[in-house]
Amino acid sequence: LKFIPGCIYMTQQKPRTESEWENSFTLKMFLFQFVNLNSSTFYIAFFLGRFTGRPGAYLRLINRWKLEECHPSGCLIDLCMQMGIIMVLKQTWNNFMELGYPLIQNWWTRRRLRREHGQNAKASFPQWERDYHLQPMNAYGLFDEYLEMILQFGFTTIFVAAFPLAPLLALLNNIIEIRLDAYKFVTQWRRPLPSQAKDIGIWYGILEGIGILSVITNAFVIAVTSDFIPRLVYAYKYGPCAGQGRAGEGCMMGYVNASLSVFRVSDFERRSHPRTNGSELFGEAVKYCRYRDYREPPDSAEPYSYTLQFWHVLAARLAFIIVFEHMVFAIKTLIAYLIPDLPKDLRDRMRREKYLIQEMMYEAELERLQKEKNEKKKKDRAHHKEWP
């Protein structure tokens, strides 16, 4: 798009080959579907409850609406529930639509044929005509099947740290979908036209990109979304076992109290002030409450400022992300080096075939040159015989 004051011009892409067009179309469709389907999970994992402020100084949208917060148990529970809904309900609905849509269309076609040709119309048709009345395969071939599998691979790997059951649910879904697709291809669709392909094309690059993204997102989920790092910092730095170099049983005593900050009720904003003072429940007015954060108490020199524990947790989170990413990528590189894409014997056979082909071409070229040389000599001899 080119934006000019008062005008919008669309620049049309003109790829040189059909392969370039397919790669461009595939990448754009994947990015559209990926952003559309994963925006909610990324929002819950990394943005929900991160910019709400604190009691007494909430950040509000248009200075009116308070931003949404996570569940009191943490955002990881919300993310786990979202992933469970996607991996169970969404996949079930996709399978239902993939099989139900051609079933309904074929039923309507059979109903129309019975109305036009009688009740025994289908039995009187030859096999080729009955196949013709089935649903044609879509214009993009197996593109939708590839796209569905790639998106499922993204759901399975990107947030697997928050929902470890995702690979198992994906496996069960694929076992069922194999049979559903077989039934659909054999009984509901016309026979597709085969076409030759060198490889899976740009899908391989998309899979590589999802793999890299999954390492980064899982590192952030473990470090930022979950309580793994705060618990680790408390166990080694602030808990009963601090300074002992171990984190065994009993080292997490007092963690909940250390993760909550104190807030004076009288410091609430007018719009956020509680309706009652709690005397009907506790017998006296509540003066202080607790909330999840690492902030100084209201009676300190700098009330509600971040404590030293907050900065320790933040540094530990960043260090974990860096170490985790480098360790996983190093292991991936090592495994890729130890397990090549092609076995050694197959690679040797390919090299030998290439060598034999080159040798055959070389011998054929030599034979052609020798033949041309002999024909030239014959012509020269005939030319010299014409002159005495």
Q: Is residue 15 within 8 Å of residue 24, measured between CB atoms?
A: yes
**pLDDT reported for residue 3:** 41
Q: Is residue 252 within 8 Å of residue 227, measured between CB atoms?
A: no
For 68-106, b/e burial (b = at least 16 CB within 10 A) is eebeeeebbebbbebbeebbeeebeeebeebbeebeeeb
**368 token code pair:** 């052609």
At 11 the three-state DSSP class reads coil
CB-based contacts of 334: which residues, under 8 Å, 6+ apart? none
Q: Is residue 46 within 8 Å of residue 220, measured between CB atoms?
A: yes
Decide: residue 313, CB within 10 A, 0-12 exposed, 13-18 middle, 19+ buried.
Answer: buried
**349 token code pair:** 């056979």
**Share above pLDDT 90 across residues of the chain, in percent, rounded to a whole number:** 22
**pLDDT reported for residue 122:** 64
**123 token code pair:** 């039995």
Residue spans per domain, the chain = 4-192+200-225, 251-338, 348-387
Q: Which residue has the tokens 């649903």?
A: 135
Q: Is residue 342 within 8 Å of residue 350, measured between CB atoms?
A: yes
In whole angstroms, give the CA distance from residue 374 to residue 368: 10
pLDDT in tens, the chain (388 residues): 444 444 444 455 677 887 888 888 889 999 999 999 889 899 888 888 788 888 878 888 887 888 888 777 778 888 888 889 988 998 888 888 888 888 888 888 888 877 777 776 666 777 777 778 888 877 777 888 889 999 999 999 999 988 999 999 999 999 999 998 888 888 888 888 877 777 888 899 999 999 999 999 999 999 988 888 998 888 888 888 877 767 677 788 888 888 888 888 888 888 777 778 777 777 788 888 888 888 888 888 888 888 899 999 999 999 999 999 999 999 988 988 888 877 888 888 989 999 999 999 999 999 888 888 888 877 776 655 555 4
At 240 the three-state DSSP class reads coil
At 303 the three-state DSSP class reads coil
**pLDDT reported for residue 323:** 94
Tens of pLDDT, residue by residue over 124-157, are 777 777 778 888 877 777 888 889 999 999 999 9
**pLDDT reported for residue 1:** 44
Tens of pLDDT, residue by residue over 339-378, are 887 788 888 898 999 999 999 999 999 988 888 888 887 7
